[in-house]
Structure 1
């Protein structure tokens, strides 16, 4: 029996806008549960929410009522890197983690009443999932299958120029964006994408595999992929190099975290597969 999607317990650090009821706090409406402020009764305040204490403190003797903010829905978007560096069939394939992430995000958004959409990109923009964002149920499994089928077709497109086109298609209103990639990008590319996403709340999801940071088992000449996306280098694998690269994965994590700190973003690392518990730690921090 195939296990169902696991919940990603995301939450916002900002007040949701829009007018559709949902699960996130906002500063709109008057019929909610969260205290937002006071309004004069003569300005249309609800007399059922009369605040006696606030009214008694008013030196002008005016009547004041409480206003209670309503909860609103938001739009959740998955931006998926489909470039050649993500195309790896060696178990566990990165696309498997990406598909599981997409399925869980769609399911989690639907449970909270949020709209969900997905755009993929390599050199071009790919609409493999629901777009524009929708509240339609059941789109998660369809999207997961489309992502895996796209990889099986062997689209070896180098580059991620399509990501900037995907960002341009995002709604104007602030969204919660999950940017899923291996982030083996040049510094200029990372800067361009993160700057373009500045109006939105971005969660960088880093899909890595431990073997990408391990040295070959045997000493000698070998091609090694740079952990920061600067291409492959021919090196002589020897004991001294093994000693320096003993914590290569930890060094790469720290380097990427430092780079993303310039945009005040904290990445969520998914090492060797999809781990929803890492998102719980991220959003509770």
Structure 2
């Protein structure tokens, strides 16, 4: 019997000290019996004679006994906020929803391996309560969620529910991934980002090369807007191809400007999911 292929891991980190109470993988400034030296404290404040520092005690002008204090590593909440409007059902070189499911599966596995809790919030016109996964450490629940995502056919006409996603996230500062193709009005992007500004936010833009190009040099092409359902025939020619390319570049620049306005560093995934590329985003 063949051994199942292990899931690729994402090695993420946060840019500040973790504020949790549960032990974990991330550096913090809490605790007094960890392994990372934080400073000295009075023996009365940290009564652990095993960590007594004689040299620091002799230098103390008040003659107090000093002990070394070591910070403990803590866990953090990790969450995904996902756009499940109809445009997320696009299938080109890769089915976008499969890329999203691969990302969620790998991230949930990585959080479980690291000792962090994991949560999931999906939105179209509203928050999808049927797909809501509260913060927890259940590997089975996350696995069931990804299986549901792989079989899902999104039909939402908008992504307005993203502006309410923050209500379903932990109050404590968390690492949050916002997964979307961002094919919604550009003026709505800053509002969604601002609603999640309390957390360490990573916008993840899921695009596919076939969204912005056609294989044929010219000819009739049927264009479909998945969120409105409108279809039209266009004559695909060199001038229209160039116009399509320019619009993509403008969209890319507008998104970057919106992200930079919130001091965010986005991650663009164009094609299949690559866990190593996500890891490099945190360690570049």
Give the secondary-structure state (helix, strand or coil) at the position aligned to 1:5: coil
Partner of 1:160: 159
Q: Distance in 1 between matches of 2:231 and 2:259?
A: 23
Q: CA deviation at 1:248?
A: 6.8
Partner of 1:136: 138
Q: Distance in 1 between matches of 2:16 and 2:88?
A: 32
Distance change (3 Å), C-alpha of 1:94 and 1:48: same
> Among residues 97, 117, 123, which one is paired with 1:95 in the alignment?
97
Q: Distance in 2 between matches of 1:253 and 1:3?
A: 35
> Among residues 47, 50, 59, which one is paired with 2:49 in the alignment?
47
Give the secondary-structure state (helix, strand or coil) at the position aligned to 1:26: coil
For each residue in 1:203-256, what CA deviation from the matched residue of structure 2 results, as whole angstroms up to 9, or x when unmatched? 111110001122562336767799xxxx99998754455567668766654442
Further displaced range: 19-28 or 126-135? 126-135
Q: Distance in 1 between matches of 2:30 and 2:175?
A: 19
Give the secondary-structure state (helix, strand or coil) at the position aligned to 1:138: helix
Q: CA deviation at 1:283?
A: 0.5
Partner of 1:196: 195
> Among residues 50, 58, 61, which one is paired with 1:59 in the alignment?
61
Give the secondary-structure state (helix, strand or coil) at the position aligned to 1:125: coil
Q: Distance in 2 between matches of 1:220 and 1:90?
A: 19
CA contact 1:18–1:72 (8 Å) conserved in 2 = yes
Partner of 1:75: 77
Once the two structures are superposed, the pairs formed by residues 207-222 of structure 1 within 5 Å of their partners are 207-215=206-214, 217-219=216-218
Q: Distance in 1 between matches of 2:133 and 2:93?
A: 30
For each residue in 1:27-62, what CA deviation from the matched residue of structure 2 results, as whole angstroms up to 9, or x when unmatched? 111110112222112333422212233333322232
Q: CA deviation at 1:258?
A: 2.9
Q: CA deviation at 1:156?
A: 1.7
Cα RMSD for the two superposed structures:
2.8
- Taking structure 2 as the reference length, what is the TM-score of the superposition? 0.86
Partner of 2:20: 18
Q: Distance in 1 between matches of 2:209 and 2:182?
A: 15
5+ residue gaps, structure 2: none
> Among residues 6, 9, 13, which one is paired with 1:7 in the alignment?
9
Number of aligned residue pairs: 278
5+ residue gaps, structure 1: none
Q: Distance in 2 between matches of 1:207 and 1:133?
A: 24
Partner of 2:183: 184
Q: Distance in 2 between matches of 1:9 and 1:66?
A: 30
Q: Distance in 2 between matches of 1:223 and 1:186?
A: 23
Distance change (3 Å), C-alpha of 1:97 and 1:128: farther
Give the secondary-structure state (helix, strand or coil) at the position aligned to 2:106: helix
Distance change (3 Å), C-alpha of 1:237 and 1:98: same
Q: CA deviation at 1:70?
A: 0.5
